[in-house]
Amino acid sequence: MSSALAVIGAGAWGTALAIQAARAGAGPVVLVARDPAKAAAIAASRENPRLAGARLPDAVRVTTDPEGAAMLVLAVPTQQLRAAAAALPAAGLLICCAKGVEAGTGRLPLEILAETHRATPSVVLTGPNFAHEIAAGLPAAAVVAGPEPRAREAAIAALATPTFRLYGNEDALGAQLGGAAKNVIAIAAGAVMGAGLGENARAALITRGLAELARLAVALGGRAETVTGLSGLGDLLLTCTGPASRNYSLGFALGQGRALAEVLAGRSAVTEGVATAPALLARAGTVDLPICRAVAAWLEGRITLAGAIAELLARRMRDE
Q: Tell me which residue of 225, 146, 216 sits closest to 181, measured CA to CA.
A: 216
Q: Tell me which residue of 87, 96, 95, 36 sits closest to 62, measured CA to CA.
A: 36
Kindly report the CATH number that applies to the domain delimited by 5-170: 3.40.50.720
239-297 pLDDT per residue, tens: 999 889 999 999 999 999 999 999 999 988 889 999 999 999 999 999 999 999 999 99
The one catalytic residue among 99, 182, 283, 293? 182
C-alpha radius of gyration, the chain, whole number? 19
Q: Convert 179-207 to b/e letters by CB count within 10 Å (16 or more is b).
A: bbbbbbbbbbbbbbbbbebeeebbeebbe
What pLDDT is attached to residue 319? 84
Q: Are 18 and 48 within 8 A, CB to CB?
A: no
Q: Are 7 and 18 within 8 A, CB to CB?
A: yes
What pLDDT is attached to residue 2? 56
140-197 pLDDT per residue, tens: 999 999 999 999 999 999 999 999 999 999 999 999 999 999 999 999 999 999 999 9
Per the annotation, the verdict on 182 as an active-site residue is yes
What pLDDT is attached to residue 68? 83
User: Domain 180-313 is in which class?
Assistant: mainly alpha
Q: At what angle do helices 290-299 and 305-313 cross, to 10 degrees?
A: 160
Sorted by where each begins, the domain ranges of the chain are 5-170, 180-313
What pLDDT is attached to residue 40? 96
Helices (H), 106-245: 109-116, 131-135, 149-159, 172-194, 199-219, 224-227, 235-241
Give the global pTM: 0.94
Q: Tell me which residue of 69, 72, 68 sits closest to 97, measured CA to CA.
A: 72
CATH topology match: 5-170 vs 180-313: no
